[in-house]
Amino acid sequence: MRRSLSLVLGLLICALAQADGMPETPPAPVPPAQPAPPPATPSPWPLPDAQPVAYAVLIVSRERLDTGTGCDIDLYVQDQKVSRLQPEGEIALNLPPGQISLRLQTANSGLCHGGIEPLRAQSVTLRAGEVRKFRIANSESGLYLMQVSNGS
């Protein structure tokens, strides 16, 4: 009986201690704060684990009046229409490296019904990471893309 009385008394003391806000065990010590690492500064050198560029950039523009038409011009890449260029318009496309088929056609809208015109395709080979700029020009055989040197 004495044992059960001391057990009840011990439980009662623990319950009163918790009710008074006194913790049963002392709190664990808080570890000191670790100093924060210095902020990363941008490096002018490429990182060795950076992903290589897996595309080329093709820029097509109508920056000059070499087209001989005020009509909009549709640009096709791999026989898919990707853009309609208005006079003084420009587009930049990210394309996969390799052989790319390009085609230009006068847009058949408004007063610009060109009728039947030859659908001449040009082929361009692009390398990954390369930026190539072309300008739309016109010749006797129709519209074509003329490569622009990097200096102009």
Q: Which pLDDT tens digit goes with each residue over 34-76?
A: 676 666 666 666 666 666 668 999 999 987 666 677 888 899 9
CATH code for 56-128?
A: 2.60.40
123 strand-pairing partners: 101
Residue 28's pLDDT band, with cuts at 50, 70 and 90, is low
Task: Give the Å distances, CA to CA, from 128 to 57, 63, 124, 142.
Answer: 9, 26, 13, 30
Residue 80's pLDDT band, with cuts at 50, 70 and 90, is very high
For 23, which DSSP code? -
Phi and psi angles of residue 133, each rounded to the nearest 5 degrees, phi first: -120, 135
> What gap in Å lies between CA 132 and CA 125, rounded to an integer?
10
pLDDT(130) > 60 = yes
> Has this prediction a pTM greater than 0.75?
no
pLDDT for 108 equals 76
Average pLDDT, the chain: 76
pLDDT for 43 equals 62
> What gap in Å lies between CA 8 and CA 1, rounded to an integer?
11
* 92: amino acid identity, one letter: A
20-31: b or e for each residue (b if 16 or more CB lie within 10 Å)?
eeeeeeeeeeee
Residue that the structure tokens 């065990």 belong to = 25
Q: Is the Cβ–Cβ distance between 148 and 135 less than 8 Å?
A: yes
pLDDT for 12 equals 62
> What gap in Å lies between CA 85 and CA 83, rounded to an integer?
6
Sign of CA dihedral 63, 68, 70, 74: negative
Q: Which residue has the higher pLDDT, 41 or 97?
A: 97
